[in-house]
Amino acid sequence: MTGALRAAAFRLALVLFCLCAWEARPYAADIREIRSPGGISAWLVEERSLPIIAIRFAFDGGSAQEVAGKEGTAGLLAAMLDQGAGDLSAAEYQTQIERLSVRLAFDSDRDSFFGNFETLTKNLDKATELLHLAITKPLLAPAILERTRAQLMARAGFEAGDNNKLANAQWMAQSFAGHTYSRAISGTPESLKVITRDDLEDFRRRIMARARLRVAAVGDIDAATLGRVLDEIFGGLPAEPQLTSVPDVQPKGVPKPTVVDVEGPQSVTIFGRRGIDRTDPDYFPGLVLAQLLGGGSSDARLVREVREKRGLTYWIYTLLYNFKHSSMLIGGFASPNKDVATSLELVRAEFKALAEQGPTQEEVEAAKSYLIGSFVLSLDSNAKIAEQMLRAELQGLGPDFVDQRKAQLAKVTRADVARVARSLLSTDDLSVAIAGQPVNLDR
């Protein structure tokens, strides 16, 4: 093994050791709100036991800000920001990232554009400069653009045969028809083909601004150092973004299931309707309802009735989900084509039973216990804590969100869940999308 390889292996082993050691620790965080000298706000958890810093950040402006016909712009930009910046070519930039043992990645959803950044404390200053260059001076080199475009087009082509992707895309298209949420979040081969470097640069300039920036940091860093780092990374960005207004919207009911024909022995079904806004007082009863209906345990009604008792599905779930401009109760299942109609009928029957009779006390307590315990157990690393902090910021919550979540869930009663079930579990305006070749389906 060469000296360079030995050094790289040592750095990797150090990072993995640190991450594994920290992941064994339980969640115990004092979240502080700090402000940099330049006025950039962030949430901070100081964790000095290991020399690692994790920073998560987000700008308003995901795929909802893309120009119609150029879907996939946000994803293409995210894939290219670490492919050369400033005076560094793609190869040189990646060499620096590897030499410093930095983890750097970008991503986007429908409402936000994200950055994930992790570094060893001793490399903070040099790593910070690399991140600063990526968001302020990305090369977006033509050759790299064409290579990245080809990769994303190939992925889009592959997903054209993925039942789950197709069912989800169809559900979004029909439930949010006419709204930007209806568009393909990853783009299509056709839309990716026409995105230019100028489109990417224009998108970056429009969304990356200090006023709509949220930052969460966890690790071996104090408030003064984080303030300096924030100004070094983001201080040169414009104050205000140039965002297109996105109207609030609720998913539309669709009278009959829509089927996307895909050959194969099984189908994927996505079903859903309007949900509950994160700030609504009924949100936590709704969260308990979604958990006991089809959450991540074998006690959930749909799991028990459709999968365990009858063996009609490979998997089935329900959850409450919130976009910035919409909320929904959404679920799905995969079944052999011959069992789709029966599985869907059972889903509607469980909706009806819960709406009319409400849950049992045992169901409510089990769901509450699962939601409280699983959330706290998930906060077992710097990166995961930073991710949840950032999500809480984006939802408009306070730094005490973990304790508040536990307290609000603990207060939920069976009567609360039954009340929410009566309003939330109507099947009259359910939207259903299926990818596959279901038989005996009323459509």
Whether domain 258-436 has CATH 1.25.10.10: no
pLDDT at 29: 63
- Encoding tokens for residue 144? 């790299």
pLDDT at 265: 96
pLDDT at 9: 37
Residues composing the chain:
443
Rounded-to-integer distance, Cα 385 and Cα 219, Å: 10
Based on its alpha-carbon atoms, the radius of gyration of the chain, rounded to whole angstroms, reads 23
- Biggest CA pair distance of the chain: 70
**Helix residue ranges per DSSP H, 24-162:** 73-80, 90-99, 124-136, 142-159
pLDDT at 244: 96
Rounded-to-integer distance, Cα 415 and Cα 410, Å: 13
Check for a shared fold between 23-234 and 258-436. yes
Rounded-to-integer distance, Cα 368 and Cα 411, Å: 10
Structural domain spans, the chain: 23-234, 258-436
Write out the chain's pLDDT in tens, 443 residues. 444 433 343 343 333 333 333 333 434 469 999 999 999 999 999 999 999 999 999 999 999 999 999 999 999 999 999 999 999 999 999 999 999 999 999 999 999 999 999 999 999 999 999 999 999 999 999 999 999 999 999 998 888 789 999 999 999 999 999 999 999 999 999 999 999 999 999 999 999 999 999 999 999 999 999 999 999 999 999 999 999 999 999 999 999 999 999 999 999 999 999 999 999 999 999 999 999 999 978 889 999 999 999 999 999 999 999 999 999 999 999 999 999 999 999 999 999 999 999 999 999 999 999 999 999 888 888 999 999 999 999 999 999 999 999 999 999 999 999 999 999 999 999 999 999 999 989 86
The correct CATH number of 23-234 out of 3.20.20.80, 3.30.450.20, 3.40.50.300, 3.30.830.10 is 3.30.830.10
Sheet bearing 258-261, strands edge to edge: 258-261, 431-436, 266-274, 327-336, 315-322
Q: Chain-centre distance of CA 396, in angstroms?
A: 16
What secondary structure letter does DSSP report for 27? P
268, 164 in Cβ contact below 8 A?
A: yes
Rounded-to-integer distance, Cα 269 and Cα 259, Å: 9
